[in-house]
Amino acid sequence: MKTILVVYSNKKDLIPVEMMRLKRYSFNCNAEVEVGDILESSEYDTPMVVVKVLDTKYKYFNRTTGELSNDFNSTSQWEIRDLVILDKKETATVYATLKRKSNL
């Protein structure tokens, strides 16, 4: 698993200067992604564009400074969310949570 940085953009061919101007978000993932790859998720209205792939998996990001860390040392830190990237063929699957009628 490694940490990736993404920006949200409807523009699919961002140049480096444009990537630097947008706010970056971090996720941890197992997938082999490259800078410039576009990721779409039903969780977000806007596609994500990969702007950096780090060799390391980090656990926390600092909302104030943007620093990535594996040590919790500030109340401004939040855990980095995992991003599971599915093959397009698998996205037709519907997931549900079972609640037994007898348990309601």
Give the pLDDT confidence of 9-52 residue by residue, as tens digits: 998 888 888 888 999 999 999 999 999 999 988 888 999 999 99
Strands of the 25-29 sheet, one edge to the other: 38-39, 48-53, 2-8, 25-29, 81-82
Task: Indicate whether 99 pLDDT > 80.
Answer: no
Query: Which pTM was predicted?
Result: 0.79
**Domain count along the chain:** 1
Which pLDDT belongs to residue 20?
85
Residues whose CB falls within 8 Å of the CB of residue 68, separated by 6 or more in sequence, listed in order? 3, 26, 54, 58, 60, 61, 62, 80
Domain span including residue 78? 2-103
